[in-house]
Amino acid sequence: MRKLLEHPKPGPENSMYYWRRYVGFFKVARNFIVISLGRYIPFLGLKRWLYRYGLGMRIGENVSLGLMMMPDVLFPELIEIGDNSVIGYNATILTHEFRVDTFKTGAVKIGRNVLIGANVTILAGIEIGDGAMIGAGAVVTKDIPPKVLAAGAPARVVKKLE
């Protein structure tokens, strides 16, 4: 089950209309610049440093963030990635979602020794257990237990890993 915090919308328009009431303009502008730089940097150590100190993400040791990896632009500080994990090319990690009538946020926790394939989308409020593998193109809509292979849209456990 996804762990999401619901924020009421302050007026009659859809929740995205009020994005500046949920997060400051200058924070989003800074995050956008840092993420835009980080998406193209091929140097893993520099990218980890940039995302740790420029965005406030909690990133473990020896984490590899693939080219074009896209962390959430509004609340990247809600992302935690465990030691020795690999986040693949063009993977997207979201920590917020706008709905018509509400706005929700949720931390994303990725365990140690996790492999996230290329073009994976991880929704807000998800936890991925240690040693899990997520197949390319998957959409992770619910928690993934440790040491399993999950794939598909939505992602489903395919098999247990040894």
- Type of residue numbered 1: M
9 token code pair: 């919308």
| Model pTM score | 0.95
31 φ, ψ (degrees, to nearest 5): -60, -40
**What's phi and psi for 146, nearest 5 deg?**
-65, 150
Quick one: pLDDT band at residue 16, thresholds 50, 70, 90?
A: very high
Q: What single DSSP character describes residue 53?
A: H
**Nearest 5°: phi and psi at 38?**
-60, -30
CA dist 71 and 31 (Å) reads 10
Assess whether pLDDT exceeds 90 at residue 1: no
Compute the distance between CA of residue 45 and CA of residue 155 in angstroms, rounded to an integer.
Answer: 30
Q: What is the pLDDT of residues 61-90, one digit of tens each?
A: 999 999 999 999 999 999 999 999 999 999
Q: What is the Cα–Cα distance from 114 to 31, expressed in whole angstroms? A: 25
For the segment 136-149, what is each residue's pLDDT rounded down to a tens digit? 999 999 999 999 99
Residue 13 DSSP one-character state = S
Residues catalogued as catalytic? 96
In the structure encoding, which two tokens stand for residue 114, read together? 């996790």
Q: In what side-by-side order are the strands of the sheet with 156-160?
A: 64-65, 86-87, 115-116, 133-134, 148-151, 156-160
pLDDT tens digit sequence for 84-120: 999 999 999 999 999 999 999 999 999 999 999 999 9
What are the structural domains of the chain? 5-160 (2.160.10.10)
Which residue in 91, 11, 84, 73 sits closest to 37, CA to CA?
73
pLDDT band at 8 (very low <50, low <70, confident <90, very high): confident
Contact 60, 37 (CB under 8 A): no
